[in-house]
Amino acid sequence: MAGYLVRRTLWLGVVLFLVALITFVLMHAVPGGPWDREKTLAPAIVANLNQRYGLDDPLWQQFVDYVTRSLRGDLGVSYIYQDRPVAEIISDSFPTTAALGLLALVFALVVGLTLGVVSSMRPNSALDYVSVLFATIGASVPNFVVGILLVVIFAVKLGWLPTGGWGDPKEAVLPAFTLGLLPAAYLARITRASMLEVLRQDYVRLAWAKGLPERTVMVRHAFRNALIPVLTVAGPLAATLVTGSFIVETVFSVPGIGRLFVQAVFQRDYGLIMGTVLFYAFLVATANFIVDMLYAAVDPRIRYR
Amino acid sequence: MLQLIRGFATARRGAAAQARDTDGIERPPRSSSLWSDAFRRLLKNRLAVSGLVFIITVSAVAILAPLIAPYDPTLQDYSIVQQGPSWGHPFGTDALGRDQLSRVIYGARTSLAVGVFAGALALSIAIAVAALAAIGGRLGDTVAMRFTDVIYAFPELLFIILLAAVMGSSLTSLFFAIGLVAWPDSARIIRAQMLSLQEREFVAAAEVLGASKKRIVFQHMLPNTVGPLIVVTTFGIPRAILAEATLSFLGIGIKPPTPSWGSMVQEGYAAVLATPALVLFPALAIALVMMAFTFLGDGLRDALDPRTR
């Protein structure tokens, strides 16, 4: 177990290093730099700025500097946000992204698991069809389309909810639903599939034969075991929540990291791009790591060596 | 995704087995080839058939766009700026007075082109990586799959956005940006399939007969992965379409004036309070195409899995 943990952590380091390298190369291959404005700056000023931010060093040197500094937790400064440290910008906007993500996750878990279990209890009933249809539609319609259709219905036509913003609980309803819909649909599909598989097992048949009430059979004997395959999608789902966040945040003007990244790409803010990409990669990798650990905790048959 | 696909397939299998149990009759196995059998099963799935019909219709619309579209999609008419649906312009007109129906029709070209070409590129990379893993022995497998892991660890859309920013916003660079990123899932599925084929008798037989590793992989194993490949492709095309629409929605995709559903949604969204219809039709177009591919993909997966018989 300890060996496994060490290897996983080392691998995480390797992945983050490669992600940093790829991003760095791509970023500097983008035509244009952070000083491209509508009004061209004097060459002397540009040279000055480049020197100040170390942009006149050879590229490999810039990369080595970046990596050594980021190991100390210094992610550099943002060029567009007046020299604010990138680490500070990220830690300022992360709570918003995290809150939105958690709301979406809770929504997805409650709706997805409930629908999955309910439809597996009565396969091929009308209720089952409705929930399978919901899951299929939810899994295939892109989140910005969902978000915009919701805005058209609930904000423009009915006027019940605001079109965007962040702070008021009312403003969180549409973004959280939009972000949570895809995970909810995936969870519903996989839970239903997994429940149907488990319900055919001998131990469930035995539970029925013992005359246990439906509730006990479903919850204690079936659902618990059905959760194991459900966990396998938890990793990819975390990634969906993360990547979904920058579209949903853009649609609903939520001031989180996702919107920050999109703006940073537009403005060639090197420091901010690197910081957000690494942060996202770290989040996704950590989520996968936690999922693998949970996996071992839920299923005693799995042991990591 | 991988687990999702497998999990769903096993569930369907379970349902089929149950149906046979209640029937109580043991039928002799029918003699029919995998393909005709799969096709028959596909036709029985109404959702899959309607998805297929819809995709064929959209493809026809895309190919025949110049004949069908009532207006030139780039023609600007400042006397009819930003209008809701009317008889002359059933989907309304955008902020530059362009006919939205014509733009939705031409947008199908952009979407399908990206879907097909980026999907094909992703599939080729996936096959190449999986083949390397299969041919290259232990070392080849480790290198190929670790490489896949790294690309997989990179949040997909983030990577595509960066690549698109690097390569510019022409249609070709979008093919590459999306194709170069969207292959790890498929590579894993194909490799898994190949690993299981390696244990089969016909592969052992080919080995005993002295066939080269390359020959075994390309002549004996790859043809046997066609089933999963078809399913992977059916899910890969809408992913590429979605990526293009998302990029264009964020403003990093296709450059105007080329019509793209994603950028139409973005432009329409700016005026959503005044004319919601402008955002509605391109949004529905994306949603319907994505749903059609999902229905078809689900149906194909169930039909091509011989164990669901």
Q: What is the mean pLDDT of residues B295-304?
A: 81
Residue A77 lies in a domain: no
Q: Which of B183, B74, B58, B167 is nearest to B112 (CA)?
A: B58
Residue A79 lies in a domain: no
How far from the centroid of its chain's Cα atoms is residue A223's Cα? 26
pLDDT score of A39: 63
Chain A contact present for B22, CB below 8 A: no
In which domain, by residue range, is A136 found? 94-268
Residue A50 lies in a domain: no
Which candidate in A122, A152, A279 is best for mutational testing of the B interface (most B CBs within 10 A)? A152
Residue B244 lies in a domain: yes
Number of structural domains in chain A? 1
Query: Per-residue DSSP letters for B224-262?
Result: GGHHHHHHHHHHHHHHHHHHHHHHHHHT-SSPTTS--HH
Quick one: pLDDT band at residue A31, thresholds 50, 70, 90?
A: low
Test B251 with A149 for CB contact under 8 angstroms: no
Residue A61 has pLDDT above 80, yes or no: no
Residue A256 lies in a domain: yes
* Phi/psi of residue B99, nearest 5 degrees: -70, 120
CATH of the domain at A258: 1.10.3720.10
Residue A202 lies in a domain: yes
Number of structural domains in chain B? 1
The more confidently predicted of residues B53 and B210 is: B53
Give the whole-angstrom CA distance, residue B127 versus residue A292.
28
Q: Model ipTM?
A: 0.75
Residue A30 has pLDDT above 80, yes or no: no
Q: How far is A268 from chain B (nearest CA, A)?
A: 9
CATH of the domain at B109: 1.10.3720.10
Residue A248 has pLDDT above 80, yes or no: yes
Residues of A in contact with B279 (CB under 8 A): 148, 152
Test A247 with B246 for CB contact under 8 angstroms: yes
Test A145 with B156 for CB contact under 8 angstroms: no
Query: Per-residue DSSP letters for B189-231?
Result: HHHHHHHHHHTSHHHHHHHHTT--HHHIIIIIIGGGGHHHHHH
Residue B62 has pLDDT above 60, yes or no: yes
Residue B15 lies in a domain: no
Which candidate in B154, B176, B235, B294 is best for mutational testing of the A interface (most A CBs within 10 A)? B154
Give the whole-angstrom CA distance, residue B233 versus residue B231.
5
Residue B137 lies in a domain: yes
In which domain, by residue range, is B218 found? 33-308
Residue A179 lies in a domain: yes
Residue B232 lies in a domain: yes
Contact B30, A213 (CB under 8 A): no
Residue A91 has pLDDT above 60, yes or no: yes
Residue B7 lies in a domain: no
Residue A296 lies in a domain: no
Give tens-digit pLDDT for A49-59: 777 666 777 77
Residue B22 lies in a domain: no
Angle separating helix axes A234-251 and A143-150, nearest 10 degrees: 50
Give tens-digit pLDDT for A140-151: 888 888 888 888
Residue B158 lies in a domain: yes
Chain A contact present for B241, CB below 8 A: no
Residue B10 lies in a domain: no
**Number of Cβ atoms within 10 Å of the Cβ of A305:** 7
Give the whole-angstrom CA distance, residue B211 versus residue B209.
6
